A and B are shown apart, each in its own frame.
Chain A
Amino acid sequence: MKVSLRVNGKDYLLEEVHPLESLAEVLRERLALTGTKRGCDTGGCGMCTVIIDGKPIYSCIMLAWQAQETSIVTVEGLETEKGLDPLQEAFIKNFAFQCGYCTPAFLMVAKSLLDSNPNPTEQEIREAVSGVLCRCTGYAGYIKSIKEVAEQKCVKNPEDANT
């Protein structure tokens, strides 16, 4: 079947997509956006998390055709002409990862959280990242980084924080 997707602001029209081809497979194999990882491939580990219409979604158990008419953001879409996303900067600064396999997924859940809730409590951060598994147990660094970015943003853009 034909599938049209909008990923990181760019439109793609794909031919001969199998009805059971997952979004994660399409992102990685057809669009070469390999920042999105496949871990358990059964909706358990969260490695494949991307943002769809602002929400964190497991792309391994979403079919590619289901993501049509939505706006998909992957880790490749975080960087702008101004540079890396503040979350990426904070992850680097705090060395918030070890092997790095789960880093894109943590970035996506964090981005989605801060976009909808710019000033989350630690509990809200923990809840938001609970659907991503880090086998190196790097959670403390991730949570610290997300908190830091939230605090910086709220200081820099007090108006944004209220929207």
Chain B
Amino acid sequence: MDSLLSAYDMEVYRPKNVEEAIGLLKEFGPKAKVVSGYTTLYQLFKQGAMEGVEALIDISQTGLKYVRCTKEEVLIGATTTPSELIDSASAIQSTPARVLRQASLAIHPPQIRYMGTIGGSLCSGIPFYDLPVATLAADASLVLRSASGQRIIGANEFFKDYFSTAVAEDELLIEVRVRKPLEPVLLATSFTKLGRSSSDFAVVNVATALNVHEHSFKICAARVTIGCIDRRPVRLTPVEEALIGEVANSETVKRVSEAKIDLNPAESIHASSHYKAKVIPYLLREGLEAALKDLHAETHSRVGQT
């Protein structure tokens, strides 16, 4: 065994419910790490970045694996895997949460879809992961619970910085909630990603979630979010503003994606700032076009139902 890894001295705890898990978090505080899929943590352990961790709290048996719908919301348990999101099409396909499903399909290689979890992806605070970008586009709320109570925060307040989120040391992310639209609208969502290879992390990834008026086909709400350009996933507000009030068609897509956007993407080991700035308009256009296709599919399926 790797000597760096064998030098870690820790206990594994496998709580059977959320209360037990948050009890352990309270007890160990910063000396605890929550684990479920391990697909992010392994790298941090291997790089020796987890010094001082005394407790690994495995939450995979705490009953947080579910995708459920209420009248107003879609509720996704924190240990739900991308593969389970993909298999939840019937529950989430007609809700804005389907952008999370589209992002899950963009996660490669397939093996990772069975192992990683939505909670782990969000809490990692890694700005090039796919589910955080989609979570921001879905305007999701995150349910955080600790021994002293529960709070619910919006995705826009959740991501803070590299490896940093709003989750406090004694808190556990237990659920992702996506509101359904109050008014009947058509949904147009998509997730697009540019990677160096089909099974690599994103160089740039874009999530699109549009609400389109049923009769006028005008875009009434837009969230377009992007990863890999900042220390956290961000909204492309100028793009969103340009879309609102316009008819959802290819002319609008062309006009909006060709408009100059002032971005200064962070460079990474994968790509320079200049390269990212060059490819973003293409990715944006691809994303908006995919959202239009998605809209057409939705319109057709509705016609089929009536």
Measured CB to CB, the residues of A under 8 A from B are 1, 18-22, 25, 29, 42-44, 46, 49, 55-58, 61-63, 65-66, 109, 127-128, 130-132
Q: Which residue of B lies closest to A61 (CB)?
A: B42
Stretch from B105-113, B167-175, B203-211, B276-284 at the A interface: B105-113
Say which residue of B11, B58, B199 sits within 8 Å of A130 (CB atoms): B199
Q: B56 contacts the other chain (Cβ, under 8 Å)?
A: yes
| In contact, B12 and A130 (Cβ under 8 angstroms) | no
Which residue from chain B places its CB closest to the CB of A53 in the assembled complex? B114
CB distance from B114 to the nearest CB of A (A): 4
Q: State the CA gap A65–B39 with chains docked (Å).
A: 15
Say yes or no for B275: interface residue by CB 8 A criterion: no
On whether A20 and B6 interact (CB within 8 A), knowing A43-B42, A66-B58, A66-B60, the answer reads yes
B-chain residues with CB within 8 Å of residue A132 when the two chains form the complex: 109
How far does the alpha carbon of A56 sit from the alpha carbon of B6 in the complex, in Å? 27
5 contacts between A and B (CB under 8 A): A20-B45, A56-B110, A56-B111, A57-B111, A66-B38
C-alpha spacing A57/B37, complex, angstroms? 11
Contact of B38 among A25, A61, A128 (CB under 8 A): A61
Which one, A22, A55, A131, contacts B109 given CB within 8 A?
A131
Known: A25-B1, A56-B111, A128-B110. A61 touches B12 (CB 8 A): no
Complex CA–CA separation, A58 to B40 (angstroms):
13
Min CB distance B56 to A, Å, is 6
Instruction: Report A127 CB to chain B, min CB distance, Å.
Output: 7
Report if B10 contacts A (CB, 8 A): yes
CB-CB under 8 A from A62, the residues of chain B are: 38, 115
A130 and B112 alpha carbons, distance in the complex (Å):
11
CA distance A25 to B2 in the complex (A): 10
Q: Is the CB of A42 within 8 A of B46?
A: yes
| CA–CA, A46 and B110, complex, Å | 10
The yes or no answer to B8 lying at the interface (CB within 8 A) is: yes
The CA-CA distance from A66 to B42 in the complex, in Å, is 13
Interface size class of B (residues with CB under 8 A): 20 to 34
Q: Which residues of the partner chain A approach B58 to less than 8 Å between Cβ atoms? A: 65-66
Asked if A131 and B10 sit within 8 Å, CB to CB, the answer is no
A121 smallest CB distance to B (angstroms): 15
CB distance from B65 to the nearest CB of A (A): 13
Q: In this complex, what residue of A is CB-closest to B60?
A: A66
Given contacts A21-B5, A109-B111, 13 further A-B contacts (CB under 8 A): A1-B12, A18-B6, A19-B56, A42-B42, A42-B46, A57-B114, A58-B115, A61-B38, A61-B39, A66-B58, A109-B110, A130-B108, A131-B108
When chains A and B are docked, how far (Å) is the Cα of A149 from the Cα of B265?
Answer: 48
B110 and A20 contacting across the interface, CB-CB below 8 Å: no
A20 touches B112 (CB 8 A): no
The residues of B that contact A42 with a CB separation of less than 8 Å are 42-43, 46
| Partner pick for A19 among B8, B39, B83, B198, CB 8 A cutoff | B8
Instruction: Output the nearest chain B residue to A20 by Cβ-Cβ distance.
Output: B5
CB 8 Å contact bits of B86-109 with A (1 = contact, 0 = none):
000000000000000000000011
Q: Which chain A positions have C-beta within 8 A of B10?
A: 19-20
Q: Shortest CB–CB separation between residue A46 and chain B, in angstroms?
A: 6
**Minimum CB distance partner of B114 in chain A:** A55
Bound CA–CA A20/B1 (angstroms): 9
List, in ascending order, chain B residues with CB within 8 A of A1's CB. Answer: 11-12
In the bound complex, residues from chain B placing their C-beta under 8 Å from that of A21 are 1, 5
Please give the distance in Å from B47's CB to the nearest CB on chain A: 10
A76 to B115, CA, bound (A): 23
Which residues of B196-223 are within 8 A (CB) of A?
Answer: 198-199
Q: Mark B41-55, 1 if CB is under 8 A from A, else 0.
A: 011011000000000
Which of A18, A19, A62 gathers the greatest number of chain B CB atoms within 10 Å? A19
B109 surroundings in chain A (CB, below 8 A): 46, 130-132
Q: How far is the CB of A26 from chain B (nearest CB, A)?
A: 10
> Cα distance A61–B116 when bound, in Å?
11
Closest to B6 in A: A18
Question: Does B12 lie within 8 Å of A65, measured CB to CB?
Answer: yes
> In the complex, are the beta carbons of B60 and A18 less than 8 A apart?
no
Instruction: Point out the residue from B1, B6, B60, B115 that lies within 8 Å of A57, measured CB to CB.
Output: B115
Closest partner residue, chain A, to B4 (CB atom) = A20
Q: In whole angstroms, how far apart are the Cα atoms of A46 and B43 in the complex?
A: 16
CB-CB < 8 A to A65: which residues of B? 12, 58
